[in-house]
Amino acid sequence: MGAEGRVHPLTLFRELFRFLGMDVYGPLRILLFVGELFRLLLLLGVFTVLGPLHEISGGGLANRLFPYVVYVVPHALFPLMTYFVWIRLSLYRSYIPLYIAGKTISLVSLIGWAFFSLQGIISTLHIGTRNMLGFILLLTATDAFSIFGGVLLQSKISRMNRFVAQVGGGI
């Protein structure tokens, strides 16, 4: 309440969003979560398609893919992190800088892997250069989208917190 007994509009919006179970960051957080799920499935698909073309000891697809799925497992933390940020931003917003750092490391390592391994993968697996470059470009684009979304979310939270601190109160 202000000095004249009026309620600040920001307080009204905040209470309305709480009542509806939403907040102003909801759409961006949902996009980050869906983007990370897409990226994880794409990565799993890449390792499925690019896995060794021969079968190992008659076990079929499971034996063929298991050693390569190990590379995908750490990336499962990113959808999990964005899920928690989506569900409870107030509790998990301090993890957004860690998310941005992890996605940056992921992007840099993907570019390094592509630079040093691309020709060998193409010649070994007999796939087209355009197909491989398409996979790498799509993975790079999802990482760049995630970094941009994380930075945008962090800056929006910082601006909102500064504004609320000036008006009085807190999120």
Say whether pLDDT at 72 is over 90. Answer: no
pLDDT for 75: 87
18-22-24 Cα angle (round to 5): 100
pLDDT digits (tens, 9 = 90+) for 80-123: 999 888 888 888 888 999 999 999 998 998 888 888 877 776 66
Q: Which of 99, 101, 76 is nearest to 29 (CA)?
A: 99
pLDDT digits (tens, 9 = 90+) for 17-61: 555 445 556 778 888 899 999 989 888 877 776 665 544 555 565
Tell which wins on pLDDT, 135 or 24.
Answer: 135
DSSP string, 115-164: HHHHHHHHHHHT--HHHHHHHHHHHHHHHHHHHHHHHHHHHHHHHHHHHH
pLDDT for 20: 47
Q: Which of 140, 32, 163, 36 is nearest to 89 (CA)?
A: 32
92-96-99 Cα angle (round to 5): 120
Say whether pLDDT at 2 is over 50. Answer: no
Question: What are the extents of the domains in the chain?
Answer: 9-167
Q: What is the pTM of this model?
A: 0.70
DSSP H or E segment with residue 91: helix 89-92
Mean pLDDT of 121-128: 64
